[in-house]
Amino acid sequence: MIEATGLTKHYGATKAVEDLSFTVSPGRVTGFLGPNGAGKSTTMRMILGLDRPTSGTVLIDGKNYLDLHRPLDRVGALLDAKWVHPNRSARAHLQWLARSNGIPDRRVDEVLDLVGLTRVAKRRAGGFSLGMSQRLGIAGTLLGDPDVLLFDEPVNGLDPEGILWIRQFMHRLADEGRTVFVSSHLLSEMAQTAQDLIVIGRGRLIAQTSTRQFIEDAAEDTVKVRSPQLDRLRELLAEHGRVSESATDAALVVHGVEASAIGELAARHGITLHELSPQLGSLEEAFMQLTKESVEYHAHD
Amino acid sequence: MTLLAVERIKLFTTRSPWWCMLLALFLTIGLTAVIAANWNNAPMPVLGAVYTHTFGLYVIMVMAALAVTTEYRFGTIKATFLAVPDRVSPLIAKAVVVALLAGLVGEAVGFGSWAASWLLADDNSQLALTTANDWRHVAGVGLVYAAGAVLALGVGALVRQTAGAVSIVLVFALVLESVVGLIPNIGDDIQKWMPFTVASKFIFGDPDASGMPDGAGPPVVGELSPWGSFGYFAAISLAVFIISLVVVKKRDA
Amino acid sequence: MIEAIGLTKRYGNTVAVDNLSFTVAPGRVTGFLGPNGAGKSTTMRMILGLDRPSSGKVLIDGKPYGSLDRPLRTVGALLDAKWVHPNRSAKAHLQWLAKTNGLPSRRVDEVLDLVGLTKVAKRRAGGFSLGMSQRLGIAGALLGDPKVLLFDEPVNGLDPEGILWIRQFMQGLAAEGRTVLVSSHLLSEMALTATDLVVIGRGRLISQSSTTEFVERSTENTVRVRSPHADKLGALLVDKGFTVREDTDTSLTVSGATSDQIGDIAASAGVVLHELSPQRGSLEEAFMQLTGDSVEYHAAETGK
């Protein structure tokens, strides 16, 4: 469990994080979202005792990171896969990490196997691809078999198999009762990975909720309808809600009418339906809706 | 012409070339000034004024090597080859720009050192540029710098790494050419034909040895005439550069 | 249009790309997918004339890259956002690039504005975040207003707004009739972006098709039906020979039938529908299915 209470970080006049309070629960994968410059990295660094809060506290299982005895046994963190000496072998890198926290050498081989790097364990880390570095970083977080795991952009540089693997891996860690806190910009990926979300913008909390709730609250649900009698149906539906044309195929997108109501209406008028699919809003739409105000660089169209 | 402008923009929009040029000027003119200020026993010859030019030459060659190796290091060479896929013309443009710049720095070094000597030496009666030889000693520095820059550029394009290219150039010029003279019997004969040794004959070589003070080293002309020496050095530089063009053209970028 | 014909690249004994032929059509966003080590980067580099094919060829609008006159006006590419000298300003970087192909420096300001970097144009590129570098790389690709665009992992380092922007931007470029080839590992993102796919594994072509086709071909397709008369509809569907699974009293999962067929049957029997949703597999499932044996590093399946 991670608890931030009134967490604040100022760099001179810049307020990177401002009075941020949230709780990350065990047994779930919690996504940490926000536009660039929202203060995600700073928050992660404060959780890990790398940056000192200007005010407020952040506790891991009730303790400050700096007060943890053998922190790698409690918290595993992957902030930047490139924090490895390029001329050291993958195995040597894990060995010194393990040694620093009294973790046996055997565990090094275990985690190497877990992330699929056993074959290249003796190669220098500098020659690794980003995906391999990422796996090495993940191996490092697992060394102490910790209860709390923090990942910053874990799928960065991974190939599709690696992405699927890490998603399933995080789910398994959460199922084992661990606290898994993941920061990422890839919303389509996070929608599949995170059960809970903490969303920040400009250093402040925007939302703390379940992923499903977040989408339902912010994004509009629609129903996609296809029919051989599309024109007739369009007229009928226009009386009940807003109807737009699908961008991809010959279908209607109906806003503000339940799928079952559309089905009843069609049946009443003897209209054949070829598709009647409720469309859930996407995490991306919900996110854009809520963070509009706090984006750093706007591109022009 | 546009490619020359491209290379000019590239060269002057980063800081290292400026530092190299300043260092080249400061090293050579500064050291010459120290020498000239302490030249008390005899009139200072023109040769003495350009004695330090080799220090600047090494710095300029490092600059030239960097001009291409940093492009490999930062991947801009690929952006360049995407923009101009024939690969050869941007490298030629780079060579022209770098050689011109090196030549200008060389002239500044030559005449700057000469002017410093003129101002600081106790007796500057021998420093007047009266003969064609005198002019060659001073103005020739620019030509050697230009040719040296092309050589270093070629090495840089072949090796693609800053550390490798710089060590090859410096170890060759500073160590290998002297060490080779130590080989028994044939050492001297080989050394005579080493490119930097020959290049120095172009600057220092003086058919009329009377201008040299005793003990200042033999101001001999090499196997070639002074201008022949320059031709030899320039030909080697050009050859290395052309080899690098062929290799770059063939190699995967 | 990009055409690869028998494209092959060997490094010593390793065959990075093996007799690869595909076509990338204009007017669509084509995704270029494959596991690590499949040869995607090598192929992209050969398209751009950076690497020389061992055999075969790849043509852009009928010509090899090397014989294009002022290539930036035909092809824009973003292969690696870090291909910038760190001490050079964003603007200076674009200026020399523009100059190589005789593009006016006005165009540099235009593309900087387009990607939202005008404010930081004079700052040294080395201090840029990955997202800003990415935008600078995209600006470079757009300089010559090219008809063919290649992007390698374009959303790398971008934040959600940037990701949405580049996706809409690529779709916009395709809608203008340009050829857009995008290589990426982010399948959930590619499912939203690409209408066509070229998939390779171990240097060979695995599939070239539309994204929909690719997914339908390699995953099971079912239709979810909800109806107050689910039992009646279920019986009718079973009679027609379709496989029906009853999920609850009012909902069914039907395999073997299209939603069109089910809708027709329901309408002719006067059955009210509350939902009729074709359930498609994900691009990820389809991809894993097809590339399963061409993956470089397998992670261990079992946990601790």
Shortest CA gap C43–chain B (Å): 12
pLDDT at B214 over 60: no
Quick: pLDDT tens for C151-166: 999 988 888 888 998 9
Last-in-domain residue among C194, C216, C238? C216
Domain holding C190, by residue range, is 2-216
Backbone dihedral angles phi then psi of residue C44, each to the nearest 5 degrees: -60, -40
Interface mutation target, options B7, B78, B82, chain C, most CBs of C under 10 Å: B82
Closest CA to A297 of A33, A35, A18: A35
Following CA atoms A155, A158, A162, A165 in sequence, which dihedral angle do they give, to the nearest 10 degrees?
-10
pLDDT category, C35, cuts 50, 70, 90?
Answer: confident
Q: pLDDT at position A80, please? A: 74
Does residue C145 sit in the same domain as residue C227?
no
Quick: pLDDT tens for B72-88: 988 889 888 988 888 99
User: Do A203 and A17 touch, CB atoms closer than 8 A?
Assistant: yes
CATH number where C93 lies: 3.40.50.300
d(CA B40, CA B62): 34
pLDDT category, C293, cuts 50, 70, 90?
Answer: low
Chains that touch B (3 or more CB pairs under 8 A): C
Cβ within 8 Å, pair B13-C51: no
Q: Name the E strands within A184-264.
A: 196-201, 204-210, 222-226, 242-245, 252-255
A273's tokens:
């339906």
Residues of B in contact with C51 (CB under 8 A): 252-253
- When pLDDT is averaged across residues C48-60 and rounded to a whole number, the result is 94
- The burial of A5, by beta-carbon neighbours within 10 Å (0-12 exposed, 13-18 middle, 19 or more buried), is given as middle
pLDDT at B178 over 50: yes
Residue-range domains of chain A with CATH: 2-217 (3.40.50.300), 220-279 (3.30.70)
> Percent of chain B scored above 90 by pLDDT?
51
Quick: pLDDT tens for A167-189: 998 999 999 999 999 999 999 89
Residue C52 is nearest to which of B79, B80, B252, comparing CB atoms?
B252
- When pLDDT is averaged across residues C77-94 and rounded to a whole number, the result is 89
Cβ within 8 Å, pair B9-C79: no
B117's tokens:
């000597």
Does residue C163 sit in the same domain as residue C132?
yes
Shortest CA gap C81–chain B (Å): 9
Report the largest interatomic distance among the alpha carbons of chain A, rounded to a whole angstrom: 75
d(CA A166, CA A170): 6
CATH number where C228 lies: 3.30.70.790
With helix as H, strand as E and coil as C, how does chain C read?
CEEEEEEEEEECCEEEEEEEEEEECCCCEEEEECCCCCCHHHHHHHHCCCCCCCEEEEEECCECHHHCCCHHHCEEEECCCCCCCCCCEHHHHHHHHHHHCCCCHHHHHHHHHHCCCHHHCCCEHHHCCHHHHHHHHHHHHHCCCCCEEEEECCCCCCCHHHHHHHHHHHHHHHHCCCEEEEECCCHHHHHHHCCEEEEEECCEEEEEEEHHHHHHHHCCCEEEEECCCHHHHHHHHHHCCCEEEEEECCEEEEECCCHHHHHHHHHHCCCCCCEEEEECCCHHHHHHHHHHHHCCCCCCCCCC
- Identify the bridge partners of residue B37 per DSSP, sorted by sequence position: none
> Percent of chain C scored above 70 by pLDDT?
96
Interface of A with C in 100-129 (CB under 8 A): 110, 113-117, 119-120, 129
Q: Hunting for tokens 């046996």 — which residue is that?
A: A104
Residues of B in contact with C83 (CB under 8 A): 74-76, 78-79
Residue B83 is nearest to which of C51, C88, C97, comparing CB atoms?
C97
Regions of chain A with pLDDT less than 70: 81-83, 247-248, 293-301
The average confidence (pLDDT) of chain C is 90
d(CA C100, CA C108): 13
Last-in-domain residue among C184, C216, C248? C216
List the single range of A132-141, C8-17, C88-97 with lowest mean pLDDT: A132-141
Q: What type of residue is A228?
A: P
Interface mutation target, options A276, A282, A289, chain C, most CBs of C under 10 Å: A276
User: Do B72 and B159 touch, CB atoms closer than 8 A?
Assistant: no
Residues of C in contact with A188 (CB under 8 A): 186, 188-189, 191-192
Q: Looking at the domain assignment, is residue C286 inside a domain?
A: no
Would you list the domain boundaries of chain B? 2-250
Which residue does chain C place closest to A36, by CA atoms? C159
Q: Hunting for tokens 């004339």 — which residue is that?
A: C49
Shortest CA gap B95–chain C (Å): 16
In this complex, whether B and A touch, counting 3 or more CB pairs under 8 angstroms, is no
d(CA C57, CA C40): 15
Q: Looking at the domain assignment, is residue C288 inside a domain?
A: no
Q: Looking at the domain assignment, is residue C144 inside a domain?
A: yes
d(CA A14, CA B86): 49
Residues contacting C18, CB < 8 A, separation 6+: C8, C39, C202, C203, C204
Residues of C in contact with B3 (CB under 8 A): 100
Shortest CA gap A200–chain C (Å): 13
- When pLDDT is averaged across residues C12-19 and rounded to a whole number, the result is 92
The average confidence (pLDDT) of chain B is 88
- When pLDDT is averaged across residues B115-136 and rounded to a whole number, the result is 88
Residue B9 is nearest to which of C67, C84, C99, comparing CB atoms?
C99
In this complex, whether C and B touch, counting 3 or more CB pairs under 8 angstroms, is yes
Q: pLDDT at position C238, please? A: 93
Last-in-domain residue among C176, C197, C216? C216
Does residue C156 sit in the same domain as residue C236?
no
- The burial of C59, by beta-carbon neighbours within 10 Å (0-12 exposed, 13-18 middle, 19 or more buried), is given as middle
Q: What total of structural domains would you count in chain C?
A: 2
Which residue does chain B place closest to C68, by CA atoms? B85
- When pLDDT is averaged across residues B204-216 and rounded to a whole number, the result is 58
